[in-house]
Amino acid sequence: MLSFITSLLPTSYFLPGWLTLDINPLDGLLQGLIGACGISVLCSLMRVHLFLEERTPSHQRRTNTGLTGMLQFFFVTGMLAVVGSRVASLVVLEFCLRAVSGWVTAGPESRKFLQQLLVQSQFSLGCALTCSLHFLHEGASQRWLCLLLAAALSWLLARQATLLLHHVMALYKLHSSQRYCGICISLLTSGRCLLPTLCRTMIITFSVAVVAAISIINQHFLSAAEALRFWTPLTICYTLLVVYMQEEQHRLPSSQAVLNTVVVRLGGLMVLMLTVGRWTDVLHILMCFLGEASCLIPTMDLLDVTSSQDEEDCADYVKRER
């Protein structure tokens, strides 16, 4: 019954071949919903982490809730649902290359770099979840049912993370001083482990996504020579772009450097797709611009907070850990 209904949706009978989706629209919508829930969980936990470190000023303790937050959530869901698995895979590989090279060159500012990287990884995390789900459920007979269950669990996790954020911002100081709330006492005693836990979770997520991305991209090539012709310029171009973007981040303010980074790396990816890709990939990259903007603009306060971290604060944190 479901396959009969989806067969009536607009396909190549009404649209050009380069405008059709590469998967079932229902599957794409569920994958986009899971990716948006993952982004919501990341943002909520990052705000909790910065609040526990008392790095969030009073005028920046506003969460993106209400109608605006819901509109942004569903907009990100739509962007992730429409962006194809090929472009999502390229976004994942580009982010991983940038993260590894930046972590190697971060040096004593590694903690500050990790915090900024987690904020900047929002749309890339959504792409990582969608391409991983596309790879893991490929060929499954009841794919939509598996994705529906995963979407329900993701929605529950996102809801719990949002409730935790509201509880911490409203009652953490009172409950931690009175010591009668189990959640606040747990955050008081083990809140320092939140950032390392987030980092380990992101490493596992992107490790799976890299395997899925390489497999998805290689499916579009007929021979090893064609794959080599694609991977060689991609690797060279993005290695040069990573070096350029790291220099820009040291020279410009944090928010301006992040926006410049998004324009440069997605612009470079578009140029690459114009030479070796398809028109569908170019359209999906334009949608990635909108997706990145919808994730970064509401969280500019987090970037400003993480960029204000001084070396003195890093030294104090190391002393406390020891």
- Residue 128, pLDDT score: 95
Per-block mean pLDDT, blocks of 10 residues, the chain (322 long): 44 44 80 94 92 62 68 93 88 85 69 84 94 86 88 95 91 78 83 89 94 85 69 70 63 64 74 72 86 88 71 50 52
- Residue 46, pLDDT score: 92
Q: Which of 212, 213, 205, 52 is nearest to 121 (CA)?
A: 205
- Residue 183, pLDDT score: 84
Q: Are residues 61 and 169 in contact, defined by beta-carbon separation less than 8 angstroms? A: yes
Spatial distance between the Cα atoms of 19 and 157, rounded to a whole number of angstroms: 33
- Residue 141, pLDDT score: 78
Spatial distance between the Cα atoms of 312 and 192, rounded to a whole number of angstroms: 18
What are the E-state strand segments in the chain? Answer: none
- Residue 6, pLDDT score: 43
Q: Hey, what are 90's tokens? A: 């390229």
- Residue 243, pLDDT score: 67
What distance, in Å, lies between the first and last C-alpha atoms of the chain? 61
Percent of the chain that is helix, strand, coil (3-state, to 5)? 85, 0, 15
Relative orientation angle of helices 300-307 and 110-120, to the nearest 10 degrees: 170
| Burial track 199-233 (b if 16+ CB lie within 10 A, e otherwise) | eeebeebbebbbebbbebbeeeeeeeeeeeebbee
Ordered by start, the domain boundaries in the chain are 21-321
Residue at token pair 């962007």: 79
Q: Cβ–Cβ contacts within 10 Å for residue 184, how many? A: 21
Backbone φ, ψ for residue 2 (5° rounding): -65, -40
Q: Which amino acid is at 287?
A: M
Q: Hey, what are 66's tokens? A: 């209400």
Half-sphere exposure of 81 (CA within 13 A, CB side): 20
- Residue 44, pLDDT score: 93
- Residue 264, pLDDT score: 72
